[in-house]
């Protein structure tokens, strides 16, 4: 799994920080989390083709998190994306209105489906919004001044295949190994061999969590519990705590507090206000509470 930060600013972009967007390469796919203005140019800088993006997860409908969608979708159309390659966009209720606005903006042709998945998560429980054999995407409603969805993507990791044990039971290397590893039973000389006989204990896969914009809340701790990586907004320093509170954002130290409570392995701070030129101050504030903290910057890439 590879995370690339395409934009790490809040509200307005700066010379060094673009509007929010994160690209995740995993499971043979490329997914986006948020799509701020200028995202497609950031993709070009890191040589990620928009044509390979099939899913976009939007945290909330503030402009700095969605205004990259019109240009990105139009560019996909210019490049010849067709009906066999739909684009799925997940986010809060209101996405259909965003789509309607995009499709009435200027003159262009789109020959591929753009499918909006509006998530009506009104409670404080975690919801599964996508699942396949490889991973699960979950979300929970957190606390901003508009509806904000925080997301987690969790790798389904198979138990280790006990090769020597399988051979002892008479299984020959080949397709039967794969069947057993995928949970199926097989028959050899009239004897049924069950998958659990040749599989190790359950294993936890990697879990990446992205906050979007939110004040610290129990819902965020619940979603981020035992995550491999928590990517959390840190719009303000402690000095500007009142601004963070009034604007429903988090300080760096508050984000670190969430990471500590949730027992995550790594915290990455993002969504940094352009008012700050010394980013080390935010990092130091977080490090005082949670020692494994990094600060995101545009084009930073992390292998998970």
Cite the active site residues.
64
Q: For residue 9, what are the β-bridge partners?
A: 272
Tokens of 85: 């390659």
Owner of token pair 């209101």: 94
DSSP state, residue 33? E
Integer Cα distance of 297 and 8 in angstroms: 6
Contact 276, 8 (CB under 8 A): no
DSSP state, residue 176? H
Q: What sign for the dihedral angle of Cα 203, 178, 55, 47?
A: positive
Contact 249, 282 (CB under 8 A): no
Integer Cα distance of 283 and 189 in angstroms: 63
First to last CA, the chain: 5
């Amino acid at each position: 799994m590879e995370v690339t930060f395409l934009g790490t600013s809040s509200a307005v972009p700066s010379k060094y920080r673009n509007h929010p967007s994160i690209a995740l390469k995993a499971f043979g796919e490329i997914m986006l989390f948020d799509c701020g203005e200028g995202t497609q140019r950031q993709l070009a800088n890191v040589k990620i083709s928009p044509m390979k993006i099939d899913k976009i997860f939007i945290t909330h409908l503030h402009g700095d998190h969605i205004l990259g969608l019109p240009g990105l979708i139009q560019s996909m159309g210019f490049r010849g994306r067709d009906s066999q390659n739909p684009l799925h966009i997940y986010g809060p209720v209101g996405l259909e209105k965003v789509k309607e606005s995009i499709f009435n903006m200027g003159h262009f042709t789109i020959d591929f489906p753009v499918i909006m998945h509006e998530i009506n998560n009104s409670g404080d429980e975690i919801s599964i919004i996508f699942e396949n054999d490889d991973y699960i995407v979950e979300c929970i409603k957190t606390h901003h001044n508009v509806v904000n969805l925080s997301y987690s993507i969790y790798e389904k990791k198979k138990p280790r295949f006990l090769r020597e044990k399988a051979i002892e039971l008479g299984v020959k290397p080949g397709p039967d190994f794969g069947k057993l590893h995928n949970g199926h039973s097989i028959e050899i000389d009239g004897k049924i061999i069950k998958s659990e006989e040749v599989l190790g204990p359950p294993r936890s896969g990697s879990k990446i969590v992205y906050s979007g914009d939110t004040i610290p809340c129990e819902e965020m701790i619940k979603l981020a519990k035992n995550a491999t990586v928590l990517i959390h907004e840190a719009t303000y320093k402690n000095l500007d705590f009142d601004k963070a509170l009034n604007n429903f954002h988090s300080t760096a130290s508050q984000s670190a507090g969430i990471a500590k409570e949730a027992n995550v392995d790594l915290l990455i701070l993002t969504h940094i206000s352009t008012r700050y030129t010394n980013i080390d101050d935010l990092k130091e504030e977080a490090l005082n509470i949670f020692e494994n903290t990094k600060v995101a910057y545009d084009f930073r890439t992390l292998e998970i």
